[in-house]
Amino acid sequence: MKRLESFVVAAALAGSCVAGSYCPKERYLDLMEKAVGAYTPEQMAKYVDETERDWIKEHGFPRLTSNIGILVAHGRLKDKKALFERMMDICCRQIPTVRIRNKGKGEIGNDFAVKEIVLCLDEVARAGLCPKEKIDSWRAEIASIVPDDTYSCRPKPGSAKARNWCVFGSASEQSRAWAGLGGDLEYVERYLGDQLRFFDPNAMYKDPNQPIVYDMVTRLQYALALSLGFNGPSRSKLEDLMVKSADVTLTMQSATGEIPYGGRSNQFLHNETFYAALCEWYAAFFHRRGDVERARRFRLAARRSADSLSYWLDRPSVRHVKNRYPLSTRYGCEGYGHFNKYMVTMGSWAYLAFRFADESVPEPTAATIAAADAASVFEMSPAFHRTLLNAGGYTAEFDVDADAHYDTSGLGRIQKRGAPPMICLSMPFAAKPHYALDVTNQTPLAMLPGCRVGGEWRYAYAPKYRREMLEAGDGRARVVYGVETDDSPALRWETQVSSLGVSMSLSGADELAFTIPAFAFDGEREAKIELDGAAKTLSVSFDGWTCRYTTTGSFVDTGLVYGNKNGHYRRFEARGSAPLSVDVSMFAF
């Protein structure tokens, strides 16, 4: 029995982590090194010269400084020691006064940056990397910080709008207190405590428009503050909220190891390192409490998240967003989501995963793997308006009230473990997205139901969704929605996820349709798209995998091309009489 259990665990964990069942801490340093290595020497030299001349304008520069310093302190990138010292001089000299000097002339980002520099100082000092006099001078400059003059986000307590920046700033200020570099603990409590008002019933953080990224990354800042000794009056309530959101966090991981899609700053590589960091924090937290099985689950989730990055990082050149377009195009990026800021952010969150990782957590058992892979459903609160289904190595994600700046309501994700994450669909298509594309989307788009009314095909671009059933068990997860629009009959849409794939069925009108976005281009390579002779089967082949759609109706190529952060998709439609079904499966070839 023991041999069988060992085989099951080994098979389930097969992947890019070869030294043990979880990620060894060193692997997080590898991810940091990948992030820094994505900058060419010319890019880095230009960045340093510009920052020294024009002062810090956002937090990418301090993050890059910190990543390099930590890696050198751990015996890596030794040729960059002199460069690091120059960059650290710039950061420590400029950070205490840059907000006042550059007021109104840039984002600055001290709220994010101070903790980066403090944690780097800790690593560099412990490694004895630089002379004591140099380290003492850096410490003195960071100790001179006056919070109200340094941090940008200082909302009035009790104000109506959630502000994640002040949580970052509070974590930065807590890091100064932890390191003995000043630190105003009243300031920390003022904002950390006040922002606890913005947690939903699942203890997810409700940043404006509820982007998934800013739930998780804000909770990570709370976790960091706790790890650095935060012990204000809000500590007990904060810990309770972190515990409440723990199992929710596990359920949110997709089959490919990704966080859910939805909202701004999504589909960047740093999404998975901050998820790994949050999971490593939870693993250590529960291990200290004696909850070994929960600790195992979180370390396993962290490993799967780190593994998911191999698809994007094991390439000759690395992007910070999940496509292969040239960086100069900024394809898929919001205006603020540029390379200099978000590439190294992947490394910063990987460092927190390294810092939090508890390698004494016992190896996962077959029961751990079975629990992680069991069929599950999670319906988020109305604030986040998403439903996640996982079963048999497949994921489906619905959004029933999408932020139209980034997404479209409907089925916006189908993924399978091991397959290229976007070969079916990782995220939907906004009609007027708040990120750069090279095509114009004619309409909103996801996997959507439609029907023929008076000779015209109509699609549920912005319907009301009424959930009728949600269940998981016996290796499958299932949801049924009633879909209502102003000018079409009410439809009934059933979706089931299992090891066979994702099956959709639609009823409620005589002639029905599903929109099917077929992956076509990642910015570098084209997928092979084929229809069989009867138009009953649509196949998309890419990177050694095929995504196959079969229907009881027939597939129609509309000729329209849409873009999302991952690249281009061609719009197909499955049309037929009621009930209309479409089955989706993925397999390696």
**Per-residue pLDDT, 9:** 40
Strand runs labelled E in 431-579: 449-453, 456-459, 464-473, 476-484, 491-498, 501-507, 511-521, 528-531, 537-542, 545-551, 554-564, 567-577
CA dihedral 274→279→284→287, nearest 10 degrees, is 180
Residue 19 predicted with pLDDT over 70: no
Contacts of 587 (CB under 8 A, 6+ apart): 545, 546, 548
Angle at 424 between CA 254 and CA 337, to 5 degrees: 65
Exposed (0-12), middle (13-18) or buried (19+): which is 291, by Cβ within 10 Å?
middle
Whole-number average pLDDT of the chain: 95
CA distances from 158 to 96, 184, 197 (A): 28, 20, 9
Residue 34 predicted with pLDDT over 90: yes
Give the torsion sign (CA, 227, 233, 236, 238). Answer: negative
**Per-residue pLDDT, 316:** 86
Instruction: Report CA 580 to chain centroid distance, whole Å.
Output: 34
**Per-residue pLDDT, 482:** 98
- pLDDT band, very low/low/confident/very high, at 122 (cuts 50, 70, 90): very high
Longest dimension (CA), the chain: 81
Residue 2 predicted with pLDDT over 60: no
CA distances from 260 to 253, 264, 378, 385 (A): 7, 12, 11, 12
Euclidean distance between CA atoms 391 and 370, whole angstroms: 11
The predicted model gives 391-395 an average pLDDT of 98
**Per-residue pLDDT, 103:** 78
**Per-residue pLDDT, 104:** 67
Among 258, 353, 272, CA closest to 320 = 272
Give the torsion sign (CA, 35, 36, 37, 42). Answer: positive
Residue 6 predicted with pLDDT over 80: no
Buried b (16+ CB within 10 A) or exposed e, 352-377: bbbbbbbeebeebbeebbebbbebbb
Ordered structural domains, the chain, with CATH: 21-372 (1.50.10), 374-588 (2.70.98.10)
Contact 333, 281 (CB under 8 A): no
Contact 164, 198 (CB under 8 A): no
Residue 7 predicted with pLDDT over 50: no
Among 515, 510, 514, CA closest to 577 = 510
The predicted model gives 207-234 an average pLDDT of 98
Residue 18 predicted with pLDDT over 90: no
- pLDDT band, very low/low/confident/very high, at 11 (cuts 50, 70, 90): very low
Euclidean distance between CA atoms 138 and 118, whole angstroms: 10
CA distances from 167 to 152, 170, 246 (A): 11, 5, 19
The predicted model gives 331-344 an average pLDDT of 96
**Share above pLDDT 70 across residues of the chain, in percent, rounded to a whole number:** 96
Contact 241, 414 (CB under 8 A): no
User: 261 or 486, which is more confident?
Assistant: 261
Collapsing DSSP states into helix, strand and coil, what is residue 416?
A: strand
- Within 10 angstroms of residue 537's Cβ, the number of other Cβ atoms is 15
Among 366, 327, 318, 367, CA closest to 346 = 318
β-partners of residue 394 are 391, 416
Q: Over the stretch 448-497, which tens digit does the pLDDT of each residue have? A: 999 999 899 999 999 999 999 999 999 999 999 999 998 889 999 999 99
**Per-residue pLDDT, 425:** 98
Q: Over the stretch 85-115, which tens digit does the pLDDT of each residue have? A: 999 999 999 999 999 888 767 678 999 999 9
Q: pTM, whole model, 2 decimals?
A: 0.96
Exposed (0-12), middle (13-18) or buried (19+): which is 512, by Cβ within 10 Å?
buried
Q: Look up residue 63 and give its two tokens.
A: 């993050």
The identity of residue 583, as a single letter, is D
Angle between the N-to-C axes of helices 25-37 and 339-356, in degrees from 0 to 180, rounded to the nearest 10: 170
Euclidean distance between CA atoms 34 and 373, whole angstroms: 29
Contacts of 349 (CB under 8 A, 6+ apart): 217, 220, 270, 273, 274, 276, 277
Instruction: Report CA 280 to chain centroid distance, whole Å.
Output: 15
CA distances from 61 to 57, 114, 217, 273, 303 (A): 8, 11, 19, 19, 28
Residue 3 predicted with pLDDT over 60: no
Euclidean distance between CA atoms 156 and 267, whole angstroms: 32
Contact 407, 425 (CB under 8 A): no
Euclidean distance between CA atoms 6 and 146, whole angstroms: 55
CA dihedral 101→103→109→115, nearest 10 degrees, is 50
Q: What is the secondary structure of 116-146 as a DSSP string?
A: HHHHHHHHHHHHT-S-HHHHHHHHHHHHT--
Residue 357 predicted with pLDDT over 70: yes
Q: What is the secondary structure of 46-115 as a DSSP string?
A: HHHHHHHHH---STHHHHHHHHHHHHHHTT--GGGHHHHHHHHHHHHHHHHHHHHHTTTS----HHHHHH
> Phi/psi zone of residue 294: left (φ > 0), alpha (ψ -120 to 50 degrees), beta?
alpha
Contact 173, 188 (CB under 8 A): yes
Question: For residue 156, how many C-alpha atoms fall within 13 Å in the half-sphere facing its CB?
Answer: 3
**Share above pLDDT 90 across residues of the chain, in percent, rounded to a whole number:** 93
**Per-residue pLDDT, 487:** 86
Question: Number of helices and strands (H, E) in the chain?
Answer: 18, 17
